[in-house]
Structure 1
Amino acid sequence: MKKLDMSRGAVPLYLQISAILKEKIIKKEYEYGDYIPSETELQKIFDVSRITARQAIQELEKDGMVQRARGKGTMVTYQKQIEEYLTSIRSFTNEMLEKNMQPGTKSAHISIEKADQHLAEIFQVEEGVPVYRLERIRTGDGIPIVDFHTYLSLKLNLPLNDNFYMGSLYEILEGKGCEPVRVTEKFDCMIPNEDIRRKLNIEIGQPVLRRIRIAHDINSEVVEYTIGYYRGDRYAYYIELKK
């Protein structure tokens, strides 16, 4: 640990300690879910009073970097927000790689179901026509980021093997000659139900960003309809407009 500046007129000790710990959190020396040193440990490390150690942790709490858990300690809750600029069609896998994060899939399940009126209108088919339903929880650096509910045309002739969908869906579509070339998207904010909260490991009342995408191929046929529920504390979107 860095030594504290004890000189006259220096920044208060608790702020110095807070800044040191914050730097370590941002550099992932203390990662999300890790526990930082306790008040007693900070006392020994920096040779300060219990009150100073407590104030340092309180500063981290104010900044949303940590959260106290009774009987367990103080856990790191900080996660760098993922910022995406909406300028081109990207798969989730490419979004993560562009942010130097490791994309992953916590779970995947594909099934076939009959299209209801809404799906029938999107895919321009008769109500009751079978479509694929693919549910996946995608991760960034091992942390759940988004719960995807994707519907695909049965014309794609996809395997009903969950393990087949642990990577990039767009790579699969490209392999089928159905690469999306045009998409329409809608964004809104909502309070998730218990199922989505459990999948994304978020607290009651924490909002999610819902992203609805309809993707078309070169023949203007719908190849993908996806509803994605993104952790609101992890994602932000930017749009650049020019006159």
Structure 2
Amino acid sequence: MPLDANPDLPRFQQIRLILRDRIRGGYYETGMPLPGERQLAQEFGVARVTVRSALARLEEEGMVARLRGKGTVPTFRHASTAATAVRGGLLDNIVSVSKRTRVTVLEWKRMPAPPAVSTALDLPPGAAVLKVVRVRKFKAQPIAYTEVFVPDDLAGALDRHTLQDTPMLVALEQHGVHVVSADQTLGAAVADLQVARILRLSPGVPLLRVSRIATDRQGRRVQYLVGLYHPERYTYQMRLSRVGGATRVWIDADSSEGDAAGSTTISPLE
């Protein structure tokens, strides 16, 4: 399989993605080693060192194991994927997911709001905010890296130790701040060096990006979140149904865990 002659990605990354898709799709026989470096180098028309770099990245992701005397063996198992994946949705589901996962606070600091943050929270430029950076894990596997900003006067409700054990929305509610709605945008991003290390991925891997602005009963914007989610351990599931002239979107959580579901209404289906 010839590689793109003028790629946006380095050749070792192209090979990594091709092999990754093959492993996930069951292309290689379970329990059997992948073709050797020399054979793969011939297939892709590259040097062995390029193939070696691709395999090293796959090993970092947990897709393969390189065993002495046996070669490179796939370790990805389809049956385990569901066991290490979390479904997310809207506000009720977010709280439920938070209770089923574990979080580590990487950063907690007061700072002047960057322009994008002051705009999102409807604050004056440079207003004081609290920044909280966290990594969330499910069954010991990292699933999300989040940066959250709140107005500085709410920092007392979100001390570092509280956020180790209490979902942020719950902590705000305990402080008298009742979040009733949120504007949320889904998109794509790629893992930079820091995020890749935290989520145990290779740099450049595509991620789900979620940005959310939460609003309380008084219409005040009280939280701005940007989250980057592991592409294999976090899923965002929606069920669309036609109700009258509009479409109601149900965000389903994992029913086996007894989670609630949230809903929102969007324009009619075309």
Q: TM-score range by the shorter chain?
A: 0.5 to 0.7
Q: Does 1:84 align with 2:82?
A: no
Q: 1:144 aligns with which of 123, 142, 145?
A: 142
Deviation of 1:93 after TM superposition, in Å, equals 5.2
Are the equivalent residues in 2 in contact too, given 1:108–1:162 (CA < 8 A)? no
Deviates more, 1:69-78 or 1:198-207: 69-78
Q: Point out where structure 2 has 5 or more consecutive residues left out of the alignment.
A: 1-27, 36-60, 243-270
Q: Percentage identity across aligned positions?
A: 18
Q: Which residue of 1 aligns with 2:177?
A: 178
**What SS does structure 2 have at the residue aligned with 1:163?**
helix
Q: Could you say which residue in structure 1 is the equivalent of 2:31? A: 57
Aligned equivalents of 2:183 and 2:105: distance in 1?
A: 26
Aligned residues: 183
Closer, same or farther: CA 154–104 of 1 in aligned 2, 3 Å: same
- Tell me if the contact between 1:108 and 1:163 (Cα under 8 Å) persists in the aligned partners: no
Rg: which structure is higher? Answer: 1
Question: Which residue of 2 is the match for residue 95 of structure 1?
Answer: 97
Aligned-pair CA distance for 1:124: 1.7
* Aligned position for 1:221: 220
Match of 1:122 in 2: 120
Seen in structure 2, the aligned counterparts of structure 1 residues 74 and 225 have a Cα distance that, compared at 3 Å, is same
Task: Tell me the distance in 2 between the aligned counterparts of 1:150 and 1:111.
Answer: 11
8 Å CA contact 2:130–2:155 kept in 1: the answer is no
User: Is 1:111 the counterpart of 2:114 in the alignment?
Assistant: no
Q: Which residue of 2 aligns with 1:69?
A: 66
Residue type at the aligned position of 1:84: R
Residue of structure 2 in register with 1:197 after alignment: 196
Shift of 1:142: 1.2
Cα distance, 1:239 vs structure 2: 2.0
- In 2, Cα distance between equivalents of 1:60 and 1:173: 51
The question of whether the paired residues in 2 share the 8 Å contact of 1:110 and 1:160 is answered with no
Look up the match of 1:29: none
Q: Using the alignment, how far apart are the partners of 2:191 and 2:197 within structure 1?
A: 10
Describe the shift of the 1:83–1:199 C-alpha distance in structure 2 as closer, same or farther (beyond 3 A): closer
Q: Would the alpha carbon gap of residues 157 and 229 (structure 1) be closer, same or farther in structure 2, given more than 3 Å must change?
A: closer
Deviates more, 1:102-111 or 1:72-81: 72-81
Deviations 1:184-207 (A, max 9, x none): 111111211101001111123321
Mean Cα deviation higher: 168-177 or 232-241: 232-241
Moved more, 172-181 or 158-167: 158-167
Instruction: Note if contact 1:146-1:230 (Cα within 8 Å) is conserved in structure 2.
Output: yes
> CA–CA distance in 1 between the matches of 2:229 and 2:108?
20
Kindly report the root-mean-square deviation, in angstroms, between the aligned alpha carbons of the 2 structures: 3.0
What is the CA–CA distance in structure 2 between the aligned matches of 1:90 and 1:116, rounded to whole Å? 29
Deviations 1:6-40 (A, max 9, x none): xxxxxxxxxxxxxxxxxxxxxxxxxxxxxxxxxxx
**Structure-2-length-normalised TM-score:** 0.59
Which residue number corresponds to residue 24 of structure 1? Answer: none
Instruction: Give the TM-score of the pair, scaled to structure 1.
Output: 0.65
Letter in 1 for 2:219: S
Q: CA deviation at 1:136?
A: 0.4
How far is the alpha carbon of 1:215 from its aligned partner? 0.6
Residue 64 of structure 2 aligns to which amino acid in structure 1? Q
Separation (CA, whole Å) in 2 of partners of 1:180 and 1:160: 15
